[in-house]
Structure 1
Amino acid sequence: MWTQRFNRARLLGALQQGLVLLLVVLVFYGLAHNASLNLKALNIASGFGFLTDRAGYDISFQLIDYAPSDSYGRAYLVGLLNTLLVSVISIVLATLIGVLLGVGRVSENWLVNRLCGMSIEFLRNVPLVVHLIWWYGLMLALPSVRQAFSLADVFFLSNAGLQVPWPQQGAAVGWGLVLMGVGALSAIVAFKCRDARARWRGFTPRRWPWVLACALLLPMLVYAVSGTALHWDVPTRQGFGFHGGATLVPELLALWLALSFYSASYIAETVRAATQAVHRGQYEAAKALGFVRGIAMRQLIAPQALYAMVPQITNTYMNIVKNSSLGVVVGFMELVSSTGGTTLNQTGQAIECIVLVMATYCVICLVISLTMNVYNYRISKRGH
């Protein structure tokens, strides 16, 4: 009897979800049809055919070759890559800073605890736009090219941006990155196979040095065997600028630092809350067994706190991607500035441009959410 009721409840739930989905589809269809009729009445062309037209505007920073004579589709791709670049490097730096501040926030050292707490409160209570403007003003206040800060005459920092060396053989670098991934994956698989055969004998040693070593040694070995040599294009001062290398423009640096420090404050609070949520008895048990606090934190407390961290940190990562659209404030040409700004103004295709930008951000955030959910499922399954 209860099985029939259960199946009936599942059927009713599926019908309700189907009706809601049908209603949403009808609403969007009605909006799209109405917009199409209005555009036709105003003699305004619709569709995404404009993406093949000549863009006619320049983008100061691009990861791929781009010129004003290229199409709007190419400009969209450049803006998308810029968004992904600033999002990825901001996620990495924000995670590092956030974890350090969060661990310092629960430190037993009074001075470290208070300094980290003050930093978190300041960073999270100042609007992101203010962070962005402050960092951009700091970038512009740096010395000129002739008085640029130099590190070993290889890296140069000035109000023109950060000059860094850049490899000349793009294909060799690409294959090197692939080999690094293969090496790291091989080390992880080897550890998994060893753990599956071995009985548990206490806390496992650090694995990341071995993973890092495999990731670095494999491409070095392949390069040595094949005789491939990487040649770097090192920046040099030339007149009122630099020649060679790659330039990270001030707008990119300001957006990167603003997103990183602002988001790091939220990650730090997530780390603090999740760490303090672990029962105090775990600390006392580790101390009674003679474990050093650092080892107990890394091997005992952090794995338990990780379950509560992942959902909130996922939300922060998605906010970083969405907040990267504030690059328009300082003139950094990312997705919103290029497609949602200049392309929209030049073509008049407002609906198409906004839909394209919205769909792109939605896909990126869904990929982040899916990846973090898979990771959360794996660590929770490992914990059980």
Structure 2
Amino acid sequence: MSTHRSHNLRLSSVLQQGLVLALVAAVFYLLSSNAALNLKHLNIASGFGFLSQRAGYDISFSLIDYTPDATYARAYLVGLLNTLLVSVLSIVLATLLGGALGMARVSENWLIKRLSGTCIEFLRNVPLVVHLVWWYGLVLALPGVKHSASLFGVVFLNNNGLNLPWLAQGGQVGWGLALMVLGTLLGYLICRYKEARTPWRGFASRRWPALLAGAVLLPLLVYALSGAHVQWEVPVPHGFGFKGGITLVPEMLALVLALSFYSASYIAEIVRGAIESVHRGQYEAAKALGFKSGSTMRQLIVPQAIYPMIPQITNTYLNIVKNSSLGVVIGFMELVSSTGGTTLNQTGQAIECIALVMGTYCAISLVISLGMNFYNHRIGQRGH
């Protein structure tokens, strides 16, 4: 009897969910049909056929080859890559800064604790747009090309941006990054294989040497076997700028710095809260066993604090990706500026352009969420 009732409940639940999905699909169909009809009456073309047309506008910074003669689809790809580059750089820098500020916030040194607290409060209580404008003005106030700040004669910083060495064969960069990711994954799988066959030795993880070795050795191995030749272009002064290498434009530098410092203040508070959530008895037990304060924090407290950090840090990472759209304020051609701005204005395909931008941001956010949730799940399993 109970089995029959349980079956009926499941069937009822499936029917209800199917009805809701059908209702949502019907509403979406009505809205899209109505929009298409209105656009037809206004003699406005609909669809994504415009992506194959000539873009006709320039983009100051691009990781791939791009000219105004390229298509709108190519401009979309350039904007997407710029968004991903800014997001990745900002996430890495914000995590490092936030982690350092958070650790300093729980330091037993009175001066370090107060200074880090003041820095955090200042950074997070100033609006992000103000951060962005301030950093942009600061970058533009740097010395000119002739008085560039130099590092070993290969890296130059001036008001035109940051000039870095770059591979002469730009296409090899993508292959190199792919091999690094694959090598890191192989290192992770090797670690998992070894950990499954060795007894548990505490919270401290020793995976990073294998991950680093995989990321470095696999590209080197492929390079040696393929017989490819890598040639670096070093930037050299040429006229009113630099020739060779790659230039990170001022707009990009300002956006990365603004996102990094602003988000670091939130990550710092997440780190502080997670560390303080660990029971004080853990500190006392470690002290009784003769552990030094640094070892206690590194091998006992921080590994336990990582689990409650992940969901909140994930939300911060998602905000970094979405806030990268503020590049439109200072003219950096990321996804919103290119497809959601210039392309939209030139083609008039507002619905398609905005839908493309919204769908892209949604996909990026889902990928980040899935990756961080998977990591959080693995950390939780190790902790239990």
For the superposition of Structure 1 and Structure 2, which TM-score range results when normalised by the shorter chain? over 0.9
Measure the CA separation in 2 of the matches of 1:264 and 1:334: 22
Q: Which residue of 1 aligns with 2:383?
A: 383
Measure the CA separation in 1 of the matches of 2:50 and 2:179: 39
Q: Which residue of 2 aligns with 1:162?
A: 162
Unpaired runs of at least 5, structure 2: none
Unpaired runs of at least 5, structure 1: none
Tell me the CA shift for residue 227 of structure 1.
5.0
Q: Does the aligned pair in 1 maintain the 2:327–2:333 contact within 8 Å?
A: yes
Give the secondary structure class of the aligned counterpart of 1:162: strand
Q: Which residue of 1 aligns with 2:120?
A: 120
Give the secondary structure class of the aligned counterpart of 1:146: helix
Summarize the Cα distance change of 1:35–1:187 in structure 2 as closer, same or farther, 3 Å threshold.
closer
Tell me the CA shift for residue 270 of structure 1.
1.1
Within a 5 Å distance, the mapping from 1:101-116 to structure 2 comes to: 101-116=101-116
Summarize the Cα distance change of 1:8–1:121 in structure 2 as closer, same or farther, 3 Å threshold.
farther
Q: Deviations over 1:113-151 (max 9, x none)?
A: 111111111111110000000000001000000011111
Measure the CA separation in 1 of the matches of 2:138 and 2:249: 13
Q: Deviations over 1:290-342 (max 9, x none)?
A: 12222222222222222211111111111111101100000000111111111
Give the secondary structure class of the aligned counterpart of 1:150: strand
Q: Does the aligned pair in 1 maintain the 2:204–2:300 contact within 8 Å?
A: no
Summarize the Cα distance change of 1:361–1:226 in structure 2 as closer, same or farther, 3 Å threshold.
closer
Deviates more, 1:69-78 or 1:153-162: 69-78
Q: Which residue of 1 aligns with 2:286?
A: 286
The one-letter amino acid of 1:332's match is: F
Measure the CA separation in 2 of the matches of 1:55 and 1:274: 49
Q: Which residue of 1 aligns with 2:329?
A: 329
Measure the CA separation in 1 of the matches of 2:203 and 2:34: 63
Tell me the CA shift for residue 107 of structure 1.
1.3
Summarize the Cα distance change of 1:69–1:200 in structure 2 as closer, same or farther, 3 Å threshold.
closer
Measure the CA separation in 2 of the matches of 1:213 and 1:371: 22
Q: Which residue of 2 aligns with 1:236?
A: 236
Tell me the CA shift for residue 32 of structure 1.
1.0
Q: Which residue of 2 aligns with 1:131?
A: 131
Measure the CA separation in 2 of the matches of 1:44 and 1:25: 25
Measure the CA separation in 2 of the matches of 1:360 and 1:214: 31
User: Identity rate of aligned residues, in percent?
Assistant: 70
Q: Deviations over 1:242-289 (max 9, x none)?
A: 111100000000000001111111111111111111111112111211
Q: Deviations over 1:318-372 (max 9, x none)?
A: 1111101100000000111111111111111111111111111111111111111
Q: Which residue of 1 aligns with 2:144?
A: 144
Within a 5 Å distance, the mapping from 1:84-103 to structure 2 comes to: 84-103=84-103
Measure the CA separation in 2 of the matches of 1:382 and 1:340: 43
The one-letter amino acid of 2:122's match is: F
Q: Which residue of 2 aligns with 1:13?
A: 13
The one-letter amino acid of 2:73's match is: G
Give the secondary structure class of the aligned counterpart of 2:352: helix
How many residues get paired? 384
Measure the CA separation in 2 of the matches of 1:37 and 1:188: 53
Measure the CA separation in 1 of the matches of 2:172 and 2:54: 32
The one-letter amino acid of 1:328's match is: V
Summarize the Cα distance change of 1:373–1:228 in structure 2 as closer, same or farther, 3 Å threshold.
same
Tell me the CA shift for residue 15 of structure 1.
3.2
Q: Which residue of 2 aligns with 1:24?
A: 24
Measure the CA separation in 2 of the matches of 1:41 and 1:205: 64
Q: Which residue of 2 aligns with 1:315?
A: 315
Summarize the Cα distance change of 1:357–1:209 in structure 2 as closer, same or farther, 3 Å threshold.
same
